[in-house]
Amino acid sequence: MPFLPEVAASARAIIAALRIPMDLDDILVILLAGGAGERLSPLTKERAKPAVYFGGPYRIVDFTLSNCINSGLRRIFIATQYKSLSLHRHIRMGWGVVSEELGEFIEILAPQKRVGENWYLGTADAVYQNLYSIVRESPRHVIVLSGDHVYKMDYARMLRFHIEKNADATLASIEIPIADGRRFGIVAIDEDDRVISFAEKPDQPAPVPGSPDVALASMGIYIFKADVLVRTLEEDAAIADSQHDFGKNIIPSLIQRAPVYSYRFYDENKKAAKYWRDIGTLDAYFEASMDLCQVNPEFNLYDPEWPLRTYQPQAPPAKFVFAEQGYRCGQALDSVISNGCIISGSRVSGSILCPNVRVHSFCDIDQAILMPGVRVGRHARIRRAIVDRDVLIPRGALIGYVPEEDRRRHSVTEGGVVVVTAEDEPLIGPISEEALRSEAAADRGGAAT
């Protein structure tokens, strides 16, 4: 009986996994989570970009950390810098999933100025300033990751490729249309996947051999032999005019004198198109979030074979109350609703509600992201908006309906998304006599919420 394609693929994966035995105990991960995320302001006014909420209960950093755990990597340093308090709390409360007794750890590395008086000057400098901590763990290989991308990836697959090639360094890359190459760091390779050049946002991106319409974009994921990484970072630190960046300095300096390979991204998201997002702007963040509300979203949060972990607050299940047709009805359509939310006699559609959001009666929430602890007063109308954490939306607020007022009172993106913070004063719209009569009738017949 012939194998089904799925069975054959599974068998090939098992055989590949057995090809080279790997001891993941001598692999060290350093996750760079110190980005300021200025283009996500005002969401990053009080928190680092990796600590921004995404998809309900998750933070952006959770996706990279989940990849690590699902890949069997349990020795992880997290280098933080800007506005890191909420990120530190999140890691402490949500990521105690490793065993220190077995030599596993997920540990924060705050800037310590071990090698000078500067804070981190670039991605490579962030690792260089923590070489003391890295060397003490005696790793054979070091995996360098970014904490501000959303994707699913088995780093063990990339590590196996790195070892098979006997590479000094390996970088992950994803195929993109060559017309989009000007927005990325582009990797040029030979027929054996060895990197022959690397260019940041080139005017003429190098195509993939045999595929003239496709280029390879660097994903900011690197694996190094530990001794090579230490030596190269020390050399780079001595160069005064270096930007101390992996993409701009470290990888280009290694290409001509050491075997550097490109690993093609294998997506564990199991969709037709590969999913890797740098949600570095508010519009990109909003669009990626709205995709999660679709019937068949591009990014799958619900795959039991690739669990996504986070800190889950002790909150009761979401609740939808009042089913008074003609007066008020609590309902959510095409939406992601987190624990602790109560939708009381209002309509929510195409939206994401983070934990512990409360929407009072007679509201209409459409294509919105409500961060944890948001309270929405009666008769509020919110459309195409992001509401920051713990914001109180007053009764009758009108957000996303009057563009000139939105721009005067809030931050508004190029795509027209309104961002509401605690300091803002939303426009209060008129409430019709009919709506007030319906409210009065509803209150006479039941609880007033």
For residues 224 and 440, what is the distance between their CA atoms, to the nearest angstrom?
67
Dihedral, 135, 139, 144, 148 alpha carbons, nearest 10: -90
pLDDT of residue 21: 54
- Which ranges of the chain have pLDDT less than 70? 1-22, 326, 446-449
Are 196 and 190 spatial neighbours (Cβ–Cβ below 8 Å)?
yes
Q: Which domains does the chain have, with CATH numbers?
A: 5-291 (3.90.550.10), 319-445 (2.160.10.10)
Are 51 and 34 spatial neighbours (Cβ–Cβ below 8 Å)?
no
What is the phi/psi pair of residue 146, to 5°? -105, 140
pTM comes to 0.91
pLDDT of residue 16: 45
pLDDT of residue 447: 61
Are 122 and 237 spatial neighbours (Cβ–Cβ below 8 Å)?
no
For residues 119 and 271, what is the distance between their CA atoms, to the nearest angstrom?
40
pLDDT of residue 231: 96
Q: Which residues make beta-bridge pairs with 381?
A: 364, 398
396 residue type, one letter? G
Phi-psi category of residue 396: left, alpha or beta, with phi > 0 → left and psi -120 to 50 → alpha: left
What is the phi/psi pair of residue 31, to 5°? -100, 120
